[in-house]
Amino acid sequence: MLGTWCLALVASAVAVAHASYHCLPGAVELAERKNLKNPQGESYPLGIWVPDWAAGYAVSAIAHVLIEEMLGYNVVDKGPGPATPDAFYALAGCETPTVINRRGCSDLMSIYSHLSLEGWTTAYQSSWDDVQRDYPATAPLNLGAMGYVGRVSAFLTSKLQEEAYYSEGLTLEYYRSYNVSWTNPSKYFDNITAIDTSRLKRCNETRTQVHAAMQQYWEAQLISEVLFADILDSVG
Ligand SMILES: *[C@@H]1O[C@H](CO)[C@@H](O)[C@H](O)[C@H]1NC(C)=O
Ligand SMILES: *[C@@H]1O[C@H](CO)[C@@H](O)[C@H](O)[C@H]1NC(C)=O
Ligand SMILES: *[C@@H]1O[C@H](CO)[C@@H](O)[C@H](O)[C@H]1NC(C)=O
């Protein structure tokens, strides 16, 4: 009996939600919501470029509801894009923003993606600068931080680090230790067979193909080496 009651309640709640299309009290009615319009008279919903990771979906969904129900604009989700720079190109109006070496940009671009949230921007300054330089008329604006920060890095458990260090003096936290002429760091990691390769991309579909991006990565490594040397100097 109890089970039937619960089911009935859920079903009626769903029916109410569908009839009104509201999440929030005081929402602008569906029929009253506006589209954007460009100078040529073309009309379209506001596009949110959605980043393809959990927090990207979450904040995009919140913005979607707020803009529709509180500001009264029709909203459509665009993308998703697996990397932060995809959003830079999408917002500039490029037609294939997720294709690394062919973003589909031109001088005559119409913009259907207008907003993107959750950019992990630190490593992508050169991509941002490229878009600002090459497409100044349509390049996106940075409206500021989300109110929270995140860091990305490789993660090694301290147990693993200590095992490698105390058994053979191998410092897994330092990238120059990953040199097979000297050591075999792979024995501290899972075999490739443990990875579902259908979830990997081919090298030619990743940023390893972008010279400027790889140069920036390499220089960041050199900077960390210099900083390391400075620290040793000041200690010594
Ligand atoms: C790895 O070590 C060998 C032997 O010392 C050296 O010749 C080579 O340049 C090193 N590789 C890298 C990428 O540093
Ligand atoms: C990974 O596993 C395969 C299949 O079991 C094995 O043939 C290969 O030697 C392993 N590679 C390493 C680096 O352990
Ligand atoms: C990457 O290489 C594979 C295999 O050669 C090819 O099928 C694919 O089209 C390439 N992708 C791009 C984006 O060039």
Over residues 122-150, the pLDDT tens digits come to 778 888 999 999 999 999 999 998 899 88
Give the residue, by CA position, lying nearest to ligand 3 atom 13: 205
Round to whole Å and give the CA distance between 60 and 75.
Answer: 11
Best CA proximity match to 203, nearest among 125, 91, 101: 101
47 or 215: which carries more pLDDT confidence? 47
pLDDT at residue number 153: 73
Read off the pLDDT of each residue in 200-217 and give the average, rounded to a whole number: 82
Round to whole Å and give the CA distance between 167 and 160.
Answer: 11
pLDDT at 101 over 80: yes
* Residues forming beta bridges with residue 119, ordered by sequence position: none
Q: How many residues does the chain have?
A: 236
CA 229 / ligand 1 centre spacing (Å): 19
pLDDT at 4 over 50: no
pLDDT band at 225 (very low <50, low <70, confident <90, very high): low
Residue range 26-47, pLDDT digits in tens: 999 999 999 999 888 999 999 9
Between the CA atoms of 16, 17, 18 and 22, what dihedral angle is there, to the nearest 10 degrees? 130
pTM for the predicted model, two decimal places:
0.72
Q: Are 76 and 43 in contact (CB under 8 A)?
A: no
Query: Is residue 193 within 6 Å of ligand 2 at its C-beta?
Result: yes
Contact residues of ligand 1, CB 6 A cut-off: 179, 181-182
Query: Is residue 194 within 6 Å of ligand 2 at its C-beta?
Result: no
Given ligand 1 and candidates 170, 180, 181, which is best to mutate, with the most ligand atoms within 8 Å of its CB?
Answer: 181
pLDDT at 14 over 60: no
Round to whole Å and give the CA distance between 91 and 113.
Answer: 5
Round to whole Å and give the CA distance between 141 and 131.
Answer: 11
* Residues forming beta bridges with residue 116, ordered by sequence position: 49
Q: Are 50 and 91 in contact (CB under 8 A)?
A: no
* Averaged pLDDT score across all residues of the chain: 84
DSSP state of 73: B
- Which helix (DSSP H) or strand (DSSP E) does residue 174 occupy? none
Round to whole Å and give the CA distance between 99 and 153.
Answer: 24
232 or 210: which carries more pLDDT confidence? 210
For 135-210, where are the alpha helices, taking DSSP H only? 158-168
